[in-house]
Amino acid sequence: MDIGTHAQLAPNPVRRGEFAQPHADLREWIARVESIGELLRVSGAHWHLEIGAVAEMIYRARPGTSPAILFENIPGYPADFRILTGVTNSPQRLALTLGLPLSKQPLDVVRSYRDRMKLHRLTDNVYVDRGPVLENIDRDDAVDVFKFPAPFLHEGDGGRYIGTCCMVVMRDPDSEWVNVGCYRVQGHDRNTVGLRITPGKHGAAIRDKYFKQGKPCPVVIVCGQDPLLYLAAGNEVAYGVSEFAYAGGHRGIAFETLKSELHGLPVPAHAEIVLEGECMPDMLRPEGPFGEWTGYYAGARKDDPAVRVQRVYYRNSPILTVGAPTRPPFDDSFSKCIMKSAMIWDQAERAGLPGVQGVWCHEAGVGRLFNVVSIKQLYHGHANQAALLVAGAHAGNFANRFVVVVDEDIDPTNLFDVLWAMNTRCDPASHIEILRRMWTSPLDPLTRGGPELHNSRALIVACRPYEWRDEFPRVVEASPELRAATLEKWGHLLG
């Protein structure tokens, strides 16, 4: 198979970082990650609890700089059936995945993303006839999702999850729109899996349209893929836009897809493991619980429409990609910080917000709950506009709780500085607004799993009041000139 080659450049020459060509597939991505020293190989860890606990140990030891982890020789499975986790939880791996200049500074990657979006053009997938994912096909009675080492990740989980760092592909029955979302997929038995989609997500809207017509919803579930497709699937892309086209726009070259045998849905030609089937309106199975991104077992075990799996396509020596959420920090908590910050910055500016110096969605808020924007205030009400747009941008709307606006002298990534600004420039009675009945998740522990899926938002303006900002007390610190001279003469004291 022509794994290492690329289709002709589509007319979308995005500016790229160190790697002139996009990676062809997950395997080339792994090789590149290893070449920059960010891959850890672990041999012999068991799919039952050990892989989850090892991942947790490593993410906690080095938040924001931990490596991707390739688990090999998993007991009970062929030695070459592997698991990859921690796909995008470092600034360098995120930049590498998006084809941006490599940097160890998170805000550099956020800025590069925002610059990229000024050139980004949707580049839809193209169809091809062959691809490595067709190396093996199991049909009907031969289907067994436990052929792959789907991990049992946390002690309180309700089962093994084959889809965590995955992408679920569906076609809108009313149009040609193909949506791709990352939704968790529990293995129930050899040919039945659960699919937990939060109400309000595009995948839920599409699935429910089929159900209203009394029809099953055709799905393709990709359980090992190019991390760029995973980023598109797991972050909020606009309604009606295909995540293939969004990811292809970053790549500069269209993704190659095959048509799935039964439903003609797009299957990435270089994917590792793909399930095809139908989500059945009347086939309810208890799903969960699963240790989730807020750090809790929220969103309890409940009956969900399950998917009957009719086909499994997979490459030789397949790699299952896994997301392992826990109390933060974990793999996706850092990935979300960069992606959300970048997407919110881009979306807020497109909505007309000037003067943005930086956006940072903090990891303690898992990239969603506690988001900070730094602005250079230009007019009355500018800070409130920033708060509203950050809270209301599609990328920042779901499950947010706090938005903090700070002045340009505050680094939004520095929690100490952000809290100092809140403590000194924000009068709670005057500078905090509350938005009510906003969209949240059953995984928000305060919703008790639903069905009420509203929460409130605090918009905290921690800026010098615009109308007397020039009279605001001066900050006590050495001037840049005095600091530079002191560093020159006395810097040796720092060791």
Ligand X SMILES: Cc1cc2nc3c(=O)[nH]c(=O)nc-3n(C[C@H](O)[C@H](O)[C@H](O)COP(=O)(O)O)c2cc1C
Which residue has the closest beta carbon to ligand X?
234
Enumerate residues 6+ apart whose C-beta is below 8 A from 271.
Answer: 133, 222, 224, 225, 226, 313, 315
By beta-carbon proximity to ligand X, the closer residue of 56 and 236 is: 236
Encoded tokens for 1: 């198979």
Binding flag, residue 88, ligand X (CB under 6 A): no
Q: Which listed residue (56, 292, 349, 363) is catalytic?
A: 292
By beta-carbon proximity to ligand X, the closer residue of 266 and 323 is: 323
- Output the CA–CA distances (angstroms, integers) from residue 463 to 345, 354, 407, 416, in the order listed: 18, 16, 5, 15
Binding flag, residue 272, ligand X (CB under 6 A): no
Binding flag, residue 111, ligand X (CB under 6 A): no
Gap between the Cα atoms of 226 and 223, Å rounded: 10
Encoded tokens for 133: 């994912």
By beta-carbon proximity to ligand X, the closer residue of 201 and 263 is: 201
Binding flag, residue 227, ligand X (CB under 6 A): no
Gap between the Cα atoms of 415 and 404, Å rounded: 11
Binding flag, residue 464, ligand X (CB under 6 A): no
Q: Is 191 helix (H, G, I), strand (E, B) or coil?
A: coil
Minimum distance, C-beta of residue 267 to ligand X, in the bound complex (Å): 18
Encoded tokens for 421: 């600004």
Q: Is 257 helix (H, G, I), strand (E, B) or coil?
A: strand
Q: Active-site residue 292, yes or no?
A: yes
**CB-CB neighbours of 130 under 10 Å:** 11
Minimum distance, C-beta of residue 202 to ligand X, in the bound complex (Å): 3
Encoded tokens for 42: 């672990």
Enumerate residues 6+ apart whose C-beta is below 8 A from 428.
Answer: none
Binding flag, residue 234, ligand X (CB under 6 A): yes
CA–chain centroid gap for 53, Å, is: 21
Gap between the Cα atoms of 468 and 151, Å rounded: 58
Binding flag, residue 299, ligand X (CB under 6 A): no
By beta-carbon proximity to ligand X, the closer residue of 246 and 377 is: 246
Q: Could you tell me how many residues of this chain bind ligand X (CB under 6 A)?
A: 19
Minimum distance, C-beta of residue 334 to ligand X, in the bound complex (Å): 11
> What mask, x for binding ligand X by CB under 6 A, covers residues 323 to 342?
x--------x----------
By beta-carbon proximity to ligand X, the closer residue of 343 and 462 is: 343
The interface with ligand X within residues 117-176 (CB under 6 A) comprises 164-165
Minimum distance, C-beta of residue 441 to ligand X, in the bound complex (Å): 8
By beta-carbon proximity to ligand X, the closer residue of 164 and 341 is: 164
Instruction: Determine contact, residues 84/68, Cβ cutoff 8 Å.
Output: yes
The site for ligand X (CB under 6 A) is made up of 164-165, 179, 181-184, 196-198, 201-203, 233-236, 323, 332
Q: Report, as residue numbers or ranges, the catalytic residues.
A: 292
